Structure 1
Amino acid sequence: MQTEISYRRLRGNGWPWLAYLIFVPFPWLWAKPDATTVLAAAVAIGVFLPLYLFSTRVPDRALIPIAAAMLALGVAVAPLPLGWTTFCIYAGVTVARLRSRRHAGIAIGVIAVATAGTGLAWQQPILWFAPGVLFVVMSGVATMSSFAFYERTQALLASQEEVRRLAGTAERERITRDLHDVVGRTLTLVALKADLAGRLVERDPDTAKAELEAIATAARSGLAEVRAALTGQLGGSLATEASASLAALQTAGIEPVVTGDPAGVPADAGAILAMTLREAVTNVIRHAGARRCTIDFEAGPGNARLVVEDDGVGLSFREGNGLRGMRQRLAAAGGRLELLSLQPGTRLEASVPA
């Protein structure tokens, strides 16, 4: 709708071009007109002005009849000592505003031929009407080009707006994924340590105090990660995340088994797999009911791979925000995610180009 309004405004900016009507009485500079000629010129201009002003506000289907009327005015006054081709030039410019470039080009050609035919029919000197024919073509093509440029500019602006919209959507999705992973891990760890501290507070106050301090540390760390997620700076090394995941599994009473070296995974792939590992371990702790969790790191030529396998209830990774976030994050990096149901347990395989 906004593009249509702007297009009409472009077509409506026609007032400055009325200055070219000065060429209608131009022959009077060397030939004094009689009363009939002056009256004919006044009537022609009086009829032309409403047509021209109306042409700037009508839909495409009305432009051709208006241009035909302008051409008819020029043909009607052609026998008189007037710059009659001026009306033909305006007719050419009017049809050039058609959005169909093919139809506009054909109409300009027809007007140019009609102008030349009128001059020849009245046996006027070539120099008398040839410039008018030339300007019908030149002005029409120039108008077509200006409108085509305007449409390309509008299309480019629309594309840029769409890119901005998609970028905003992608950023919101990224923040949602990162916050889900950060908050899920942090709250899970805080809940586990709080339960442990509650059980130890009477029989082992010192250990309970240590767990409470760990809760405070986890909360502060989680807050820092939330801030990093909001600014787009979240994503530590895979080795750091592996250590945190082992600690979380141990706190949950799940035996961690690690194979491979996370430090051997390239940093770009490691940052993606670190967030995948965070969410996978969180899901194992919260949903699997597992006693053992195996984490395997592989860094092959051009590809990095993470495998997280538990011996829990199976199908522990339900299709939710966490799993969708993992898929989207890996897909954005050109990787993939696979889930396999074991007997018992679940196996998650994530790979990403390194």
Structure 2
Amino acid sequence: MQTKAERWWDGPWPWLIYLVFYAVPWLWARPAAWQLAASAVGLAVFLPVYFASHRLTGTRLFATAGVMLLVGAALAPVGGGWTVFPIYAASEAGRARPARGAAIAIALIAIATIAIGLGWRQPLFWWAAGVMLVIATGGATISRSAFYARTQALLASQEEVRRLAGTAERERITRDLHDVVGRTLTLAALKADLAAKLAAPDPARAEAEMRAVAGIARAGLAEVRAALAGQGGSTLAHEIAASREALAAAGIAARLAGNGAAIPADAGAVLAMTLREAVTNVIRHAEAGTCTIELALDARLARLVVADDGVGRSFREGLGLAGMRQRLTAAGGSLSIQPDAPGTRLVATVPA
């Protein structure tokens, strides 16, 4: 069976050109009528078997190779270049799998060719070149088939890599958009609610809050565009400041412990996205009065702790939590969520 990597010249038709070598001995000795008739019968048997063999595998392929060899044996006393038929047999046998079976079949064809030549007591030069071509052609076919198999495996691997890369990119976009949109909409909603409450008693402050909502929306739109372009991400220092602002807008006291500036930028970028989602969850679900953000760095790990004193619902299983785990795991880090007294405590670590 032909593989997808084969070119048009690997089909059965082009290789028929080698049949002309059967008639080479008749260039200096005109054949008799019976020789031509016998050769025509041999070709009539060979051709359908040859075309059929190119579509076969396994035992049936070996059987067709055997028929080709028998055609050569039958035509050996006719006077033509009969070794072309064992060569075709070796070429077809070389396509068999496993390669060890193909090599054994080619060796047997070579031995049979020697036996036929000796059996008819033909001169060595009459069939020795054919034996060498049986071995060379069969070996080349084994190598070619192995090359095609490797090519197909490589193409399949490349396709799998492309598929996995596409999946990973979709997951990244989903995570980034979830974090960006979640924070942006949560903060915009808080600011809009505050502006509504201040509309009557303090119109000037209400206007300022609505202008802040507009600024949040524009910043969120820019972050969405960056996420879609694969340029998302934020520094840890920026996310700490944004988290404190968001907590303040929600009426939650923010406490910061540790020095975020000491954490390397690559680890800080991962922890920054984790902090963004963690604080958004505290605002949306915890009903907390205080949120503590702790940052620490030792010889091997950067650690982020987000703890609240709410009702214990700040970190529920969902897309946001799954995104946190995926980011940290991809960076070689870990995530743990523990009940606190009261509230919930999230601990994220990443190699520094």
Band the TM-score falls in, shorter-chain normalisation = over 0.9
1:87 paired with 2:93, answer no
Native 8 Å contact 2:2 2:55 kept in 1: no
1:199 maps to 197
Shift of 1:80: 2.3
Q: Structure 1 7/106 Cα, relative in aligned 2: closer, same or farther at 3 Å? A: farther
Shift of 1:144: 1.1
Which residue among 144, 159, 166 is the counterpart of 2:164? 166
1:340 maps to 338
Native 8 Å contact 1:12 1:57 kept in 2: no
Native 8 Å contact 2:257 2:294 kept in 1: yes
2:33 maps to 35
1:313 maps to 311
2:68 maps to 70
2:228 maps to 230
1:250 paired with 2:234, answer no
Give distance in 2, aligned partners of 1:282 and 1:224. Answer: 19
Structure 1 segment 1-354 matched on structure 2, within 5 A: 6=4, 13-354=11-352
Q: Helix, strand or coil: the match of 2:348?
A: strand
Q: Helix, strand or coil: the match of 1:194?
A: helix
Native 8 Å contact 1:288 1:345 kept in 2: yes
Percent identical among aligned pairs is 60
Give distance in 2, aligned partners of 1:335 and 1:305. Answer: 9
Give distance in 2, aligned partners of 1:217 and 1:99. Answer: 67
Q: Structure 1 339/159 Cα, relative in aligned 2: closer, same or farther at 3 Å? A: same
Aligned residue identity for 1:85 = T
Give distance in 2, aligned partners of 1:315 and 1:129. Answer: 87
Q: Helix, strand or coil: the match of 1:350?
A: strand
Give distance in 2, aligned partners of 1:219 and 1:164. Answer: 35
Structure 2 unaligned regions, length at least 5 = none
Give distance in 2, aligned partners of 1:24 and 1:47. Answer: 15
Native 8 Å contact 1:11 1:56 kept in 2: no
Give distance in 2, aligned partners of 1:291 and 1:313. Answer: 10
Identify which range, 41-50 or 111-120, moves more after superposition. 41-50
Aligned residue identity for 2:282 = V
Q: Structure 1 109/11 Cα, relative in aligned 2: closer, same or farther at 3 Å? A: farther
Identify which range, 8-17 or 292-301, moves more after superposition. 8-17
Give distance in 1, aligned partners of 2:205 and 2:2. Answer: 72
Give distance in 1, aligned partners of 2:151 and 2:299. Answer: 45
Give distance in 2, aligned partners of 1:5 and 1:143. Answer: 14
Shift of 1:6: 2.0
Shift of 1:237: 0.9
- The one-character-per-residue Cα deviations of 1:183-211 (angstroms, maximum 9, x if unpaired) are 00011101111111111110011111111
- The one-character-per-residue Cα deviations of 1:197-229 (angstroms, maximum 9, x if unpaired) are 111110011111111111011111111110011
Aligned residue identity for 1:227 = R
Aligned residue identity for 1:291 = G
**Number of residue pairs the alignment of both structures matches:** 352
Native 8 Å contact 1:24 1:41 kept in 2: no
Identify which range, 295-304 or 341-350, moves more after superposition. 295-304
Q: Helix, strand or coil: the match of 1:234?
A: coil
Structure 1 unaligned regions, length at least 5 = none
Aligned residue identity for 1:135 = L
Give distance in 1, aligned partners of 2:157 and 2:253. Answer: 52
Native 8 Å contact 2:291 2:306 kept in 1: yes
Q: Structure 1 10/155 Cα, relative in aligned 2: closer, same or farther at 3 Å? A: farther
Give distance in 2, aligned partners of 1:127 and 1:100. Answer: 33
Aligned residue identity for 1:112 = A
Give distance in 2, aligned partners of 1:296 and 1:10. Answer: 67
Shift of 1:58: 3.0
Give distance in 2, aligned partners of 1:170 and 1:10. Answer: 37
Shift of 1:30: 2.7
Aligned residue identity for 2:140 = A
Shift of 1:175: 0.3
Shift of 1:5: 5.6
Native 8 Å contact 1:315 1:341 kept in 2: no
> Please, what is the CA RMSD of the aligned residues?
1.6
Aligned residue identity for 1:137 = I
TM-score for both structures, normalised by structure 2: 0.96
